[in-house]
């Protein structure tokens, strides 16, 4: 009996991955993602900007015109004259500056206390702060409205500012940053006799500059764009901020002048956009602080 032996089949080799090809694919997908993000974010902004220079005949047409037949800068003058635009601007500056300052100071101080001070119930306090982050602001509107009305603060700056001065997010952000500071530096400062205030102003805060800038920018942007609570609290233009003023401008005519509304929107965006452009590097550095440890 003859037995025929088959030669073993060669093992299938897995072709090695080409690093150059992988980098090329990653680059292609990266550019595709960037283009999609630009379309999602940039297209509405482009539409607002172009509409702010359109005549009514170009706005109310079908199909839509992506480029106006003639530019109409008069929309910007109408935006500032049909409603007391500069009064709204002043009110926004007051409300944003006051609320942001209160939030910033309370956020930094409360986070410092939760990290560097010892007192009973510290963990419970932090859990309460985390729980406050989970509660939407709209839920507290009714109770805050009743309280402010009882105090007689409707249509006043204090009635708008104080209920907005919660610091849950700022406390959470700054506490996490303070925890990421090198323990050796803190201990060395304490061994040199640094007390509570000296440790804070001479060591902790100088090391936390970028994070504090990020906290300040986020707070300023949030307060500048706040709409619901100022809308409920303001009865006229004496205390109403710009977002509320945009609503009044939109409703000032039966047939909405969208050119003027979009022009006012651009004027509302510009101040906060300039702040962000000037401080964007510090903001990004602050938000990523502590993410990578050497």
Q: What pLDDT is stored for residue 231 in this prediction?
A: 92
For residue 12, is pLDDT > 60? no
Residue 12 lies inside a defined structural domain of this protein:
no
Quickly list H helices, 69-119: 74-81, 85-116
Q: What is the mean pLDDT of residues 159-172?
A: 88
Task: Indicate whether 236 and 149 sit together in one domain.
Answer: yes
Residue 280 lies inside a defined structural domain of this protein:
yes
Residue 272 lies inside a defined structural domain of this protein:
yes
Q: What CATH code is carried by the domain that includes residue 194?
A: 1.10.3720.10
pLDDT digits (tens, 9 = 90+) for 72-104: 888 898 888 888 999 999 999 999 999 999 999
Domain end residue (candidates: 11, 41, 74): 74
For the ranges 106-120, 226-240, 273-287, the lowest mean pLDDT is seen at 273-287
Q: How many domains does the chain have?
A: 2
Task: Indicate whether 27 and 170 sit together in one domain.
Answer: no
Residue 10 lies inside a defined structural domain of this protein:
no
Domain end residue (candidates: 30, 58, 74): 74
Structure tokens at 83: 């409603």
33, 158, 223 from 97: Cα distances, Å: 36, 13, 9
Residue 1 lies inside a defined structural domain of this protein:
no
Per-residue pLDDT band at 294 (split at 50, 70, 90): very low
Computed over every residue of the chain, the mean pLDDT equals 84
Per-residue pLDDT band at 117 (split at 50, 70, 90): confident
286 contacts 217 by C-beta, under 8 angstroms: no
Q: What pLDDT is stored for residue 64 in this prediction?
A: 77
Task: Indicate whether 56 and 110 sit together in one domain.
Answer: no
Q: Is the peptide bond between 63 and the residue preceding it cis, with omega within 30 degrees of 0?
A: yes
Range of the domain at 270: 79-287
Residue 197 lies inside a defined structural domain of this protein:
yes
């Amino acid at each position: 009996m003859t037995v025929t032996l088959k030669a073993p089949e060669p093992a299938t080799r897995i072709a090695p991955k080409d690093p150059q090809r992988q980098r090329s694919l990653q680059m292609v997908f990266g550019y595709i993602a960037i283009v999609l993000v630009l379309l999602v974010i940039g297209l509405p902004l482009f539409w607002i900007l172009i509409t702010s220079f359109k005549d009514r005949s170009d706005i109310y047409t079908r199909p839509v015109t992506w480029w106006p037949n003639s530019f109409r800068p008069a929309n910007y003058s109408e935006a500032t004259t049909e409603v007391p635009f500069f009064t709204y601007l002043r009110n926004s500056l007051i409300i944003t500056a006051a609320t942001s300052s209160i939030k910033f100071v309370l956020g930094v101080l409360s986070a410092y206390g939760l990290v560097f001070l010892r007192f009973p119930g510290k963990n419970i306090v932090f859990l309460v702060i985390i729980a406050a982050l989970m509660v939407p602001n709209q839920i507290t509107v009714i109770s805050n409205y009743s309280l402010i009305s009882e105090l007689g603060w409707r249509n006043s700056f204090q009635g708008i500012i104080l209920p907005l001065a919660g610091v849950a997010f700022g406390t959470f952000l700054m506490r996490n940053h303070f925890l990421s500071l090198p323990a050796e530096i803190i201990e060395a400062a304490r061994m040199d006799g640094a007390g509570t205030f000296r440790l804070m102003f001479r060591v902790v805060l100088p090391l936390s500059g970028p994070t504090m800038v990020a906290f300040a920018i986020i707070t300023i942007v949030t307060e500048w764009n706040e709409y619901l609570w100022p809308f409920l609290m303001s009865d006229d233009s004496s205390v109403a901020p710009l977002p509320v003023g945009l609503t009044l401008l939109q409703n000032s005519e039966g047939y909405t002048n969208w050119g003027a509304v979009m022009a006012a929107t651009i004027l509302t965006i510009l101040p906060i956009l300039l702040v962000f452009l000037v401080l964007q590097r510090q903001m990004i550095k602050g938000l990523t602080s502590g993410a990578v440890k050497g």
